[in-house]
Amino acid sequence: MTGLRPAMPALAVSGKAPTLRQALAKIVPAGWTIHYDMGLKPEVRRPLTWQGNDQWPYVLNRLLTQEKMRAEINWTTQKVSVSQAGTSGVPAVSPPAAKVKTTPGKTTGKNPFTGSGVKSSPVPVASKVSEVKPPAVRAVIWQASVGSTLKDTLLEWTTREKCTAGGTWKLAWNTTVNYRIDAPLAFSGSFRSAINDLFILYGTASTPLYAATQSAQCVLLVDDKEPR
C-alpha cells in the first residue's frame, strides 16, 4: 500500500473489554501496530465500554478522551501511538548552570562568559564551562473540537500558521459543502502534515473535499473538485 491513498476508515462496532489493550485491539483494524507510551499500563484491568457504528478513528478518540489519553494515527506506516493527553513526548530541558546571570532581551549565540567587565585572574585557572543548549522545540498539536465544522477548524489553523512573506495563512473555501466535527481530532507535526492527515478522512466522503496550497501567497484552497 506504499504510496497509495488510504481508503475511508472502516467502521468500528460497539463493544466492551476488560483492559485497554484488548479494547484497542477490537477498535483498530487488523494489521495495524499499536504503541503505548511508558507508564500507561494497558494490561491493567479497567472495564471499558464504547459506542460504535462510526469510523474507527472517531470511536478510538472518544474512548481515549474519556480515559484522558490521545492517539496519533500514522496512515503511512499503519501505526497508532497512544499517550497521555497533553503530553508531547519532548524531554524536559535541564535548567542552566547556577550563578549564570542572564540579560533579558534577544538571545544570541555568543558565549555569555566573554566580553567586557570580566576581570582576569593573575593565576591561570582551568575551568570547564558547560555548553548552554537552546530550549527544545515542542511538537505543534493541531486540534479539531467537537461541535465545530471543518471550515471553522481550518480557519483557526490558518490564522495560527505564520506566512514567510508576513502575516498568516489565508483560507479560500471554494465549495458549499461543509462537515461537522463529531469526534475530537488531534494531529501532531507541521501545518502541512496536519492538513494532509485531516483531508485523508474526507477523501472518500459522500462529497469528497480536496485541499491545495499556494505557498507563495500562503493560501489554503479547499474545493469539492480534485485539483488538476
Tell me the CATH number of domain 138-228, given options 1.10.10, 3.30.70, 3.55.50, 3.30.1490.
Answer: 3.55.50
pTM of the model: 0.43
Q: Read off the pLDDT of each residue in 178-200 and give the average, rounded to a whole number.
A: 87
Domain 1-87: state its class: alpha beta
Please give the Cα distance from 17 to 158 (Å, whole number). 40
Contact indicator for 223, 175 with CB cutoff of 8 Å = yes
Q: Residue 61 corresponds to which cell in the numbers above?
A: 478518540
Question: What is the model's pLDDT at position 100?
Answer: 42
Domains 1-87 and 138-228 agree in fold: yes
Q: How confident is the model at residue 33 (pLDDT cuts 50, 70, 90)?
A: very high
Report pLDDT digits (tens) over 61-115.
Answer: 899 898 889 888 888 888 889 898 875 444 433 444 444 454 455 444 444 434 4
List the chain domain ranges: 1-87, 138-228
Residue 23: which residues within 8 A CB-CB, separation 6 or more? 15, 16, 17, 48, 50, 63
